[in-house]
Amino acid sequence: MLMAITRGVSPRITECELTHVTREPINFQRAQTQHQQYEELLVELGCKLIKLPAESELPDSVFVEDTAVVLDELAVITRPGAESRRAETGSIAAVLKQYRKLFYIKPPGTLDGGDVLQISKSLYVGLSQRSNQQGIEQFHKILSSFGYSVTAVTLHDCLHLKSAVTQVADNTLLINRQWVDDKVFGNMRFIDVSPTEPFAANAVRIGNTLIYPSAFPMTHQKLVAQSIDLRTVDASELAKAEGGVTCCNLIFKV
């Protein structure tokens, strides 16, 4: 069974952390509606939801992906790079301890789950403004005894690694090569985002289906041309908070 942890949108979402985008007004009610539709799609694709209530004092807390990395054998509770987000991890750990043995990133390390891309037993971690070298080294030390490799990846001009690249099919990555070097991923096949859609590389893969933002029609056409099954969602309000479709869930098997 696939489980998916989600959390409601904080009414303080307008106070979210921003790094690479300009602050715009966020319609809270519309963000709630879009997030509910996203959750409904997760259920349609076979996930059992664990819906956590909104954290009114934590503006970014809907982005649960950043609080943990959940693998088959364990879960790593992160230490988010933005200090304002570190209180988000406690409620996530309380849920995950029911399903996994927990490990923790400790100071001075920082790690955001949005910087972690898993391809089988290989984990690629963005060396970003949110995930530092100490955090990546701790992550490697935790995972090495479980047979995983960890590779640090340099980023340019984006918040997280999964802003720049995600897996969309077996042996296939959707990528913005302006933000990350493809060579680090070895012999993977690549689909490039449309040059006019730099934020279009973020997608959620569930089985053989992608959850994909409706905001990127040109890249959408490229994916369809490669016979990839897509389900689109309107994620425009949370995109103003520098969020993507991967950010709003923690999916794992039980």
- Looking at the annotation, which residues are catalytic? 160, 247
Q: 3-state class of 94 per DSSP?
A: helix
| Contact residues for 217 (Cβ-Cβ < 8 A; gap 6+) | none
Rg (CA), the chain: 17
What gap in Å lies between CA 190 and CA 167, rounded to an integer?
A: 9
What gap in Å lies between CA 145 and CA 223, rounded to an integer?
A: 36
Nearest partner of 250 among 106, 118, 82, judged by Cα: 118
Beta bridge partners of 250: 5
- The answer to whether 4 touches 49, Cβ cutoff 8 Å, is yes
Nearest partner of 216 among 199, 238, 240, judged by Cα: 199
What gap in Å lies between CA 60 and CA 43, rounded to an integer?
A: 23
What gap in Å lies between CA 42 and CA 226, rounded to an integer?
A: 23
Distances in Å between the Cα of 25 and the Cα atoms of 15, 49, 55, 66 are 10, 29, 20, 23
